[in-house]
């Protein structure tokens, strides 16, 4: 017997509001509290609700070192006019935002809330200097074996890509294809941090960071926020009930923190498990996914994610054939992904889910909105090096 109820049996969770601030480096004196209010206000306006209608606030913020706020959920509840609502802060490294979405959905499915705001935010670009950031992210892995040794995230991701490429035949040309695609998509996203038209020569001539990763293969550190308003079907405003996208499946998984402890360090086993669980809950297969927003902290990590998610049989061939391009059969990271749109860590997963929801409803940026109706989308992110993984499956509303 399946551990999941059928879609007919379970409570439906709708995304009735979705918004992102621009992701960039802020030099205007604003703070994470300002960006959170902006994203929440816009998502709430889309939902047709008021602050008094929100039962719970889920906040995603990766690190207290960024916000200098040990209890951000209570502060943001005050700023957003949600004092009295249940509050929770969620942290799971780079997967924080996606796990916050899961927490909001699960709260509705449990019957404890009807309408939940999920806000993801981090001043990842402006809070600390580059050296401090590199050291801090080294602690995202195993502090004893990696952090204290001075291993950087770029070096560990590079080692994982090398292991993946040794088995699959991945090349630096593939890294350039992903980099160029995501930054090209970002040119049509007015909120993107790095909208660029990169030539392969430019990418391959950028400084080497950790072989084979060069500077342009890496995502930027960004500031910004994203917000969702989630709602049970019976509590949704009538105007949003039939058009709002649905959260259909949640999946999560974990792996050994140390890359060297894994039997297959190039393959994201936890992400495969998370995808299998999320797709099973949704009652669909990976081939049903029309588009995805995946965690591309580095160019190769996108291809490793696609392989783990099972979206195509041969990820390398599909990449080279343009399957993942904006006009391809399965567009990946239409937003530009972390590499193009940017990466305020706590906001990343919430922003991925918001992007998928807006695309499914046909409300995304015009030059990136697919012309054909969409059925299902997938958003995923992870903490560490695919150590804690979260996958969210969304479906189009009845009248989308």
- 3-class SS at 327? coil
Q: Which phi and psi angles does 372 have, rounded to 5°? A: -85, 150
| Structure tokens given for 38 | 């902006």
Taking CA 389 as the corner, what is the angle to CA 42 and CA 97, rounded to the nearest 5 degrees? 20
Answer whether 0.75 is exceeded by the pTM: yes
Chain center to CA of 346? 9
Give the integer Cα–Cα distance in Å for 306 and 271.
Answer: 10
pLDDT at 64: 83
- E strands within 43-172? 56-60, 86-90, 115-123
Q: Write down the pLDDT at residue 70.
A: 87
pLDDT at 129: 76
DSSP characters for 163-192? Answer: HHHHHH---HHHHHHHHHHHHHHHTT-TT-
Helix (H, G, I), strand (E, B) or coil at 373: coil
- 297: β partners: none
Domains annotated on the chain, with CATH? 13-128+220-395 (3.40.47.10)
Query: What is residue 1's predicted lDDT score, i.e. its pLDDT?
Result: 30
pLDDT at 400: 60
- DSSP letter at 224 equals E
Return the pLDDT at 68. 84
At 213 the three-state DSSP class reads strand
DSSP 147: I
- CB within 8 Å of 298: residues ≥ 6 apart: 154, 157, 158, 161, 213, 217, 218, 219
The closest alpha carbon to 157, from 390, 394, 400, 384, belongs to 384
pLDDT for the residue numbered 313: 95
Distance of CA 130 to the CA centre of its chain: 23
Residue 353: per-residue pLDDT: 98
Which H or E run contains 360? helix 345-361
Over the chain (400 residues), the average pLDDT of each successive run of 10 is: 47 95 94 97 98 98 85 96 97 95 97 97 84 74 75 92 98 98 98 96 96 97 97 96 96 94 96 98 97 98 98 97 97 98 96 98 97 94 96 87
């Amino acid at each position: 017997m399946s551990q999941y109820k059928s879609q007919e049996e379970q409570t439906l969770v709708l995304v009735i509001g979705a918004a992102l601030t621009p992701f960039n480096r802020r030099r205007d004196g604003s703070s994470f509290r300002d960006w959170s209010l902006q994203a929440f206000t816009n998502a709430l306006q889309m939902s047709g609700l008021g602050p008094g209608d929100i039962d719970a606030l889920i906040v995603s913020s990766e690190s207290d070192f960024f916000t200098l706020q040990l209890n951000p959920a209570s502060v943001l509840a005050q700023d957003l006019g949600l004092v009295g609502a249940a509050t929770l802060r969620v942290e799971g490294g780079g997967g924080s935002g996606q796990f916050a979405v899961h927490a909001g959905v699960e709260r509705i499915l449990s019957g404890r809330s009807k309408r939940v705001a999920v806000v993801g935010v981090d001043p990842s670009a402006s809070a600390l200097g580059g050296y401090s950031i590199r050291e801090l992210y080294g602690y995202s892995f195993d502090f004893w074996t990696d952090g204290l040794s001075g291993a950087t995230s770029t070096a560990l991701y590079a080692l994982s890509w090398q292991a993946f490429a040794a088995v699959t035949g991945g090349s630096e040309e593939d890294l350039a294809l992903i980099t160029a695609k995501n930054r090209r998509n970002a040119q049509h996203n007015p909120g993107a941090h790095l909208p660029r038209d990169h030539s392969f020569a430019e990418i391959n001539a950028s400084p080497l960071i950790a072989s084979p990763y060069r500077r342009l293969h890496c995502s930027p550190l960004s500031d910004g926020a994203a917000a969702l308003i989630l709602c049970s079907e019976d509590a949704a405003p009538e105007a949003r009930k039939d058009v709002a996208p649905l959260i259909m499946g949640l999946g999560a998984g974990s792996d050994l923190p140390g890359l060297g402890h894994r039997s297959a360090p190039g393959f994201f086993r936890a992400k495969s498990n998370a995808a299998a669980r999320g797709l099973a809950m949704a009652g669909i297969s990976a081939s049903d996914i029309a588009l995805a927003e995946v965690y591309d902290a580095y160019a190769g990590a996108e291809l490793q994610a696609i392989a783990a998610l099972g979206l195509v049989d041969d990820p390398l061939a599909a990449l080279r054939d343009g399957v993942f391009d904006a006009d391809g059969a399965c567009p990946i990271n239409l937003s530009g992904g972390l590499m193009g749109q940017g990466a305020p860590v706590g906001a990343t997963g919430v922003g991925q889910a918001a992007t998928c929801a807006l695309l499914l409803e046909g409300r995304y940026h015009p030059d990136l909105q697919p012309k054909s109706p969409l059925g299902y989308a997938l958003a995923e992110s992870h903490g560490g090096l695919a150590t804690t993984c979260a996958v969210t499956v969304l479906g189009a509303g009845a009248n989308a």
